[in-house]
Amino acid sequence: MNSLSLRSPAKVNLDLRILGRYPDGYHRLLTLFHRISVCDSLRLVARREALVIHCRHPAVPCDERNIMAKAYRLLKKCFPELPGVDVYLKKVIPVAAGLGGGSGNAAAFLLGMKKLFRLKINRSELMKLGGRLGADVPFFLTETTQALGTCRGDKIKSLQCHAKKWFVLIVSDRGLSTSDVYRKLSRHLPAVSLTKLERTVRIATHFLDSGMLVEADKILKNDLEKPAFQLQPAIQNTVRKAVDLGVPLVRMSGSGPTVFAVFPSLKEARAFARRIKHALKQKVIVCHSY
């Protein structure tokens, strides 16, 4: 085998709580990840040496700045005889949108390299490499639909997802820097019990699986919404418009700016997508649990 094709799904954060800050500056958090059916495509083709990334998307760097190039360098340290690879990336997931596109690409790349070159690296070692690349990468490495992320978001506990969910993504034409959002976050964070919070979020997943979206909405939060709204007031306007249209559950994903609404059926998701697109003249994507 000298080539391999892979799908690289996006995610939304159904819940995201900031619990404090570590001495190194990273934030301690709890988040509820959920993979969705919006996917990039990767094709890996073995070559004699070096990594070459091919992508036509103007916002995706194809040099050493790309997260897959960083992943290749980490693998090369573990496996000095590692051959080169051409990576052909077809970008579908919006860039800098809070949907984990880059992190998902890195995870798919690591899993693909392991399979393509039969690398002797176990799950634990792969998760450590993923954690060095980004806090969201370990979630994508688990290849599970739904999971709790704690610590920096990189300690993963898979959670059962008993019902397919439909999502409408409302995509901004402006990206938003994760670091800018975190810098805007208040330094005075309330003390919260992680055990109690985990229990609360698990209750919300039961409501989601049961189609009780109004009840889930009362529990689920995203602590990054406030600083993101300050940086881009249009995000808050999008959330308000969705609420005005009667959506039972709407949130910003990750550090934004993408806003998503949750529905129990494709019919309801499509009906809302038409209405919100007409109201805001923004790009919308209808998708589902992956």
What is the spatial distance between Cα 96 and Cα 9, in angstroms, rounded to a whole number? 15
Candidates 11, 91, 165, 241; catalytic one: 11
At residue 52, the 3 state secondary structure works out as strand
What is the spatial distance between Cα 31 and Cα 166, in angstroms, rounded to a whole number? 19
Told to judge if 70 belongs to the known catalytic residues of this protein, a careful annotator would answer no
Task: Return all residues near 113 (Cβ < 8 A) that are at least 6 apart.
Answer: 44, 71, 72, 75, 82, 85, 119
Yes or no: say if 170 and 156 are a contact pair by the CB < 8 Å rule. no
Strands 27-47 and 3-21: antiparallel
Told to judge if 136 belongs to the known catalytic residues of this protein, a careful annotator would answer yes
Query: For 270, phi and psi rounded to 5 degrees?
Result: -65, -40
Q: What is the DSSP letter of 289?
A: B
Candidates 15, 40, 91, 136; catalytic one: 136
- Tell me which residues are annotated as active site: 11, 136
